[in-house]
Amino acid sequence: MSILVNAQSKILVQGFTGTEGTFHATQMIEYGTNVVGGVTPNKGGTTHLERPVFNTVDEAVKQTGADVSIIFVPPAFAADAIMEAAEAKIGLIVCITEGIPVQDMVKVKNYLLDSDSRLIGPNCPGIITAEECKVGIMPGFIFKKGKIGIVSKSGTLTYEAADQVAKAGLGISTAIGIGGDPIIGTTTREAVELFMKDKDTEGIVMIGEIGGGMEAEAAYWIKKNGTKPVVGFIAGQTAPAGRRMGHAGAIVGGAEDTAAAKMKILAECGVHVVESPANIGITMANVFKR
């Protein structure tokens, strides 16, 4: 089982013929992902990677039935690409693009309020259902099929956690990199809720970082509604106050934004908190032995 994407998902690539789109679409196809075509304005009617190219998302959806879109569009045009996908009724939109202006994402966030589309990202590695479907830029070979869901703000730590969980013999159901920008689509809590509802996901790894309140929001939801074990890690434990670390959203704005404060909240809400990412896999394995 999985959340959001699986082997039957029909994937559309926006920015299909560009350098990034070409490289990662090739990797996705080699992984077995059902890429049905792509969009590049003014190149409609051609083919690329043996898939059809369309001028618009609406045209692509009508001809291929695509229900998932992944966006490799430059920052200046990415917001319009997200809204175009939503207007075409794409159910899941994954935006890899980083550097989208905050004011553009404000417009996107407001636009999606009246839409049935779900956004993952921007500035994220994407989503992968192990050994079925990769919609993103993550190294697919790390993700072995299993029963643990991963939600993470950090791409690199997503891969580390997946490798550890696989080596612990548990494997991955689905992993979601939600992105580290100040304004994103799917939040940590929303991803956790999806995993809690998935009958074949038996445990959850939640990786956060300094800045913002998403981890605390997720923790309070877990305390009230959680039915599965959650292992949590917060990156940025040595970050000085007021300093942005890595992601645009990773800046400590108040006392509750620090790693220590978040770790305390998670622990108080029943999350199994680890101080080092090296302990994620073994901690989850030990939880299942209890």
CATH topology of domain 11-120: Rossmann fold (3.40.50)
Buried-state track 246-280, b at ≥16 Cβ within 10 A, e below 16: bbbbbbbeeeebbbebbbbbbeebebbbbeebebb
pLDDT given for residue 242 in this prediction? 55
Class of domain 138-289: alpha beta
The reported pTM is: 0.93
Catalytic member of 24, 48, 247, 272: 247
Q: What is the 3-state secondary structure (H, E, C) of 140-204?
A: HHHCCEEEEEEEECCHHHHHHHHHHHHHCCCCEEEEEECCCCCCCCCCHHHHHHHHHHCCCCCEE
* 11-120 and 138-289 share one fold: yes
272 belongs to the catalytic site: no
Domain extents in the chain: 11-120, 138-289
Q: How far apart are CA 164 and CA 171, in angstroms?
A: 9
Per-residue confidence in pLDDT tens, the chain, 290 aa? 579 999 999 999 999 999 999 999 999 999 999 999 999 999 999 999 999 999 999 999 999 999 999 999 999 999 999 999 999 999 999 999 999 999 999 999 999 999 999 999 999 999 999 999 999 999 999 999 999 999 999 888 999 999 999 999 999 999 999 998 989 999 999 999 999 999 989 999 999 988 788 999 999 999 999 999 999 999 876 555 555 555 554 444 555 567 888 999 999 999 999 999 999 999 999 998 76
pLDDT given for residue 246 in this prediction? 54
